[in-house]
Structure 1
C-alpha cells in the first residue's frame, strides 16, 4: 500500500466521488476551512497497485500547550466498506498515523449503518465506542428519485398543508448570495438563542459558507414575506447527496409556516441539481416525546424521510492516561466550575463585590458555558 499526501483540491474531490461513501466533511474544502481555525489538514490518498483504495482527510490539533494532539477523520475514512481487506489496511494506516502524530487518540465516524461488520472489525482492533459523539449518529434520508407529486404524496398530511398554506399566505423563497451571509447568521443566532444551542462567531461560519458557496458545493435559500426575511437554509452537497446542514429562522410570522415551504424548495432544488438523496442532518437516536430534539424530529419526519442510525464515532486510544484526563477529569472539573458559578453563595459574593447594583455589574457569563466541542 502506498500513501500520498494529495495537495490538489480538484484531484482530491474528483477521486472522492469515485467512492460510494463520500461526504463533504471529507472534501478538500473542509480541510481548507478547518486549517484557518487551528487544525492541520492531512489529505491522505491510499493506493494499491496505482489504484485508489481509500481516502482520509485527517485533521490534527495540538491540545492546549501540551505536546499531545487530538486527531479526527470527520465522516471518514472513505473507502469500499464491503472490502474487508481495504478496511483493515486503512485502519492500520490511521492507527500508525495517530502514533506518528503523537495523538492522544484518533476518532473516526463513517456513515455506516448500525450493525455493519465494521463495528466488529473496530472492536477486534482495539477501537472503542466514543464517549464524545461529534456528528449526529442518526438522521432522516429522503429518496429523491420519485416525482415531485410522489414526494408530496409521501409526506405527512400536515406537512403538505403547511407547505401550501405558506404559499397561499404570500411566503416566497429566493436564492441567497454571499451578500446575504450576515443576514443568515443573524437568523442563525436568533435560532440558537431560541433553541438553546451554542454557535460560533460569524467569522467561522462565514468561512464555511463562503468556501462551499464559491465552489458550487452549496446553495442558500431565504424565505420572505412582503420583503421581510423570515428563515433560511444552507444546503451543502457532494455527488448525489444534498445535506440540510444549516437552518435558521426569526421569531416573526412563524404562523405563516415559512420553514415548511423553505424545506420543500430546498428539496426541489436538490432534485433539480441531480441529487438522489436529501439528508435532514440529525435526529434523536431513539425518537420519543421526552427527547429535546422531538420537535425538530417531528418537523423533519413530516417530509417522509427514512430513519437511519449509524454506528457512531469510534476512538483508537494511543495514550490511555491522557485519554482518561481528556474525557473524564477535565469534563468533571468544568462541570464543577459550572455548579460553583450557579451556587447562591457565590452569587451573593458577586453581588456584594458589584455594590449590589445590577446596572454596575458586567453581564455574568458562567465559566465554559455554551462552549462548542473541540472537534466541531
Structure 2
C-alpha cells in the first residue's frame, strides 16, 4: 500500500513506505516547486472532512461518511490527499476514490463521485494530484480512474479536462442544475420566484399547509416515522414519473451516517396530519443540496411541492448556508418547475476517464457493460410482459419513463406523439401502445412507441407516429435504425400483426429520410399526420422576431394590444375550466371548417398527462373578460408545438380585435421562456396550395408568422405477413373499392 497520513506532522501519524518500495509500486519522491508537495492516503476522518467542507471545489459525495456508505455495495474508499509538506501537510487537493475490482482479473475501476476536490485551480496542486492519481492506480492495480468534479464547463478545471488524455465518459451525476445564492435577502429571493410560483406558495399557505423540519438531532423514533412517510411519498412519485427509488433501508442508512455531524435535513409539507410533500437534503460546508423529493397526488393538487421547496430555501438561509443546489434537471418539465425558484443555471463538466492501463481498461469497460446488461435484465424480469427481441431492443417498462423522456427531449426527431404520457391518449383513441427501447452498453439510444389497432380474426396493424426517435445524425444511425426495425418485426410478428406503418419526424429529402429507403422499407404515399408545417426560430429577441413576420401580422399583434386584448397563461394541471373553454372554442372553430371534433376527454388526457410534468400550457386571449382565442402549447425539450387552437369570429361590422394573433404571440413568448428554440406551427397546406385547399385559410394565418416551410419525409411500411398484406392490396384495387 501507499503511505497513509493522519492529522500530525510527517513521521508521527503518517505511515510511509520505504523509498525503494514506493518507487517499485509507482510512487516517487515529492516534487519541489514554489511549495513542497507530497501525496498520501489520508486516514483521519475528521481532518479529511474538514478539508472537504472548506475546499474551493467540494461536494458531500467526497465526505468520509459517504465513502463508507458505499462499502456495502462492494466499493472500497481510498482518500488520496495532496498537501504542502512545509505547512504540516495541510491538504490542498484530494479525491475520495471508490475502488471496485473486476472478479477473476484483479484489475479495478476507481471512481471519484463529484471529485476531485480542493484548490484545483492551482497549477502545482492539480499537476501533483494527477500525477498521484496515476501512481496510486499503478500501486493499486487500477486500470481506469473516473472523475466527475463539481466544476463548470467554463471553469479552469473544465479547461484542464480538455487535455487529450482525459476521455469523456457517461456522467453518473446530474450535469445541469440551478444554484440559489442564499446571501440574497428574503425579499430578493421571493422576487426571483416566477409569478405562478409565488401564487402557488401563497395558496398552499392559505390552504392550511404547515412545514415540518428534521435535522440530525431528531429523535430516532420520530425521524424513523418521518423517513417512512418520505419513502412512501418518494416511491409513489417515482411510479408516476418513471424514475427508480431505493429500498427504505438505504435512506435510513444515509441519515444515520450523516446525522452525527448534522449534515442531513428533511422537510415535509403537512395538512391535517397528512404528509403531502417532502425533500431530503445533504449539506457540505456552506452548501445544501436537494437530493430527493416528491409529492402525493393530493399534495400536487394543494401545491405542497411548491411550499416545501420554498420553506427549505428559507430554512437553509436562516441557518446561514451560502448556496442551495436544486440538484439536476432531468426533463424539461422538472427543469421548468425548478427554474421558477430562480437561481443561476449551472452546467458541469461531466465525467472523464484517466486510462492508466489500456488492457485493464478494456476489461473494466466490458465488466461495466455486463453489469449494465445484468441490471437491465433484472429490471425486465421484475416487470410484466417485457419482451426482449433483437440486439438490445426490448419492450420498455415503467422504470424507463424518465430515460425515455430525456432522450425524446434531447434529439431533434423527438415528438409529442412519442411522449411517455401520450400512451393514455392513444388508449382513449382505441389504439393501445407498445413501447420499445434500443440499448447500447446500458444506454438507451432509441425509443419507439407503436399504436396497435386490432382487426378481425385476431390480427393487427401497428402504427409508429413520428418515430422511431433516435439521433439520426449519429454515425451508427443506420445500424441502430436497422436494429429497431428488426426488433419491431419480431415483436409485431408475435402479435400477429400484418404490417407496421412508420412515420418518422425527419424532413423530406434529408439524409435521415434516405436511411429508411436504404434498409428496405416500403415507401407509401399516405400519411396519417400533417405532411407539412412551419418551424419558427425563437432564438431572436422580440423586436427581431417581430421583424420576420409579414406586415399584416405585425399590425394585427399591435392592433390587438391597442384594442385591449389581454393574454394569460394557464399552467395549473387542475384547471378544468380553462380546458373546457379550450375545447369549446376549438370545437366552435372546427365546426365552422367542418372538421372532425376531438372529444373533451381526449383533451383531458393530453392536459392531465403533460401539464403536471410542466410540458403543456393553455394560452388565453380575452377582451372585456370574454375569451376570444385560446390554444394549447406543448413543450418537448427545446421544441414547442402549437397543438390546438380556436377563436371567435367577430360579427359583421364589428371592430376587428385579432385575438388569435395576440394568443399566438403570447404562445411564442411563453415557449421561449420555457426553453424552446423552435416553434412548430403543426400543419399547413402545401406551399403551392391555392384558395380551394381546405387548409388555405389557417395556413395563411400561420404563414404570416414566417418560419421555415418543412415537408416531413412521409411514411414507410414494414411488411410482417407478406401473404395477407398482398391479399389486402389486391382487395383494395378491386372495382367499387
* TM class, shorter-length: 0.7 to 0.9
Aligned residue number for residue 74 of structure 1: 465
Q: Measure the CA separation in 2 of the matches of 1:19 and 1:184.
A: 30
**Cα distance per residue 1:283-319 (max 9 Å; x no partner):** 1234322422222221111112110111112212224
CA apart distance, 1:328: 8.1
Aligned residue number for residue 431 of structure 2: 39
CA apart distance, 1:266: 0.4
Aligned residue number for residue 594 of structure 2: 196
Alignment of 1:156-171 (within 5 A): 156-171=550-565
Q: Flag the 1:232–1:332 CA change in 2: closer, same or farther, 3 A.
A: farther
Instruction: List runs of 5+ in structure 2 lacking aligned partners.
Output: 1-390
Alignment of 1:191-230 (within 5 A): 191-230=589-628
Q: Measure the CA separation in 2 of the matches of 1:328 and 1:249.
A: 45
CA apart distance, 1:205: 2.0
Structure of larger gyration radius: 2
CA apart distance, 1:330: 7.1
**Contact 1:178-1:210 at 8 Å conserved across structures:** no
Q: Measure the CA separation in 1 of the matches of 2:633 and 2:730.
A: 36
Q: Measure the CA separation in 2 of the matches of 1:329 and 1:262.
A: 48
CA apart distance, 1:124: 4.4
Alignment of 1:20-39 (within 5 A): 20-39=412-431
**Residue 90 in 1 paired to residue 484 in 2?**
yes
**Cα distance per residue 1:103-156 (max 9 Å; x no partner):** 121111112111123444433444223343111111100011111110001110
TM-score, normalising length: structure 1: 0.82
**Residue 249 in 1 paired to residue 651 in 2?**
no
Aligned residue number for residue 408 of structure 2: 16
Higher mean C-alpha deviation, range 323-332 or range 141-150? 323-332
**Cα distance per residue 1:212-253 (max 9 Å; x no partner):** 222211000111111111111001111000100101122346
3-state SS of paired residue (2:405): helix
Q: Flag the 1:327–1:198 CA change in 2: closer, same or farther, 3 A.
A: farther
3-state SS of paired residue (1:86): helix
Say which of 104, 108, 132 aligns to 2:526.
Answer: 132
Q: Flag the 1:221–1:331 CA change in 2: closer, same or farther, 3 A.
A: farther
Q: Measure the CA separation in 2 of the matches of 1:321 and 1:168.
A: 65
Instruction: List runs of 5+ in structure 1 lacking aligned partners.
Output: 337-376
Alignment of 1:135-154 (within 5 A): 135-154=529-548
Q: Measure the CA separation in 2 of the matches of 1:131 and 1:72.
A: 15
Q: Measure the CA separation in 2 of the matches of 1:325 and 1:231.
A: 49
**Residue 307 in 1 paired to residue 709 in 2?**
yes
**Cα distance per residue 1:67-115 (max 9 Å; x no partner):** 1111111111011213222222222222222222221211111121111
**Residue 174 in 1 paired to residue 174 in 2?**
no
**Contact 1:105-1:315 at 8 Å conserved across structures:** yes
CA apart distance, 1:257: 0.8
Q: Measure the CA separation in 1 of the matches of 2:733 and 2:539.
A: 45
Q: Measure the CA separation in 2 of the matches of 1:165 and 1:191.
A: 22
**Residue 264 in 1 paired to residue 658 in 2?**
no
Q: Flag the 1:100–1:199 CA change in 2: closer, same or farther, 3 A.
A: same
**Cα distance per residue 1:28-50 (max 9 Å; x no partner):** 10113323443332221111222
Q: How large is the Cα RMSD of the aligned pairs?
A: 2.4
Q: Measure the CA separation in 1 of the matches of 2:603 and 2:728.
A: 27
3-state SS of paired residue (1:133): coil
3-state SS of paired residue (1:229): strand
Alignment of 1:339-354 (within 5 A): none
TM-score, normalising length: structure 2: 0.43
Q: Measure the CA separation in 1 of the matches of 2:689 and 2:466.
A: 26
**Contact 1:6-1:12 at 8 Å conserved across structures:** no
Q: Flag the 1:126–1:114 CA change in 2: closer, same or farther, 3 A.
A: same
Aligned residue number for residue 6 of structure 1: 397
Say which of 660, 666, 684 aligns to 1:283.
Answer: 684
Using CA pairs below 8 Å that are at least 6 residues apart, which structure has the higher relative contact order? 1
**Contact 1:131-1:327 at 8 Å conserved across structures:** no
Q: Flag the 1:272–1:124 CA change in 2: closer, same or farther, 3 A.
A: closer
Q: Measure the CA separation in 1 of the matches of 2:398 and 2:568.
A: 36
**Contact 2:459-2:496 at 8 Å conserved across structures:** yes
**Contact 2:407-2:445 at 8 Å conserved across structures:** no
**Contact 1:80-1:86 at 8 Å conserved across structures:** no
Higher mean C-alpha deviation, range 137-146 or range 112-121? 112-121
Say which of 116, 138, 145 aligns to 2:510.
Answer: 116
Q: Measure the CA separation in 1 of the matches of 2:425 and 2:576.
A: 16
Q: Measure the CA separation in 2 of the matches of 1:174 and 1:54.
A: 37
Q: Flag the 1:326–1:249 CA change in 2: closer, same or farther, 3 A.
A: farther
CA apart distance, 1:326: 6.3
**Contact 1:6-1:45 at 8 Å conserved across structures:** no
Q: Measure the CA separation in 2 of the matches of 1:201 and 1:147.
A: 37
Higher mean C-alpha deviation, range 229-238 or range 47-56? 47-56
Q: Measure the CA separation in 2 of the matches of 1:331 and 1:179.
A: 48
Higher mean C-alpha deviation, range 38-47 or range 296-305? 38-47
Q: Measure the CA separation in 2 of the matches of 1:324 and 1:233.
A: 43
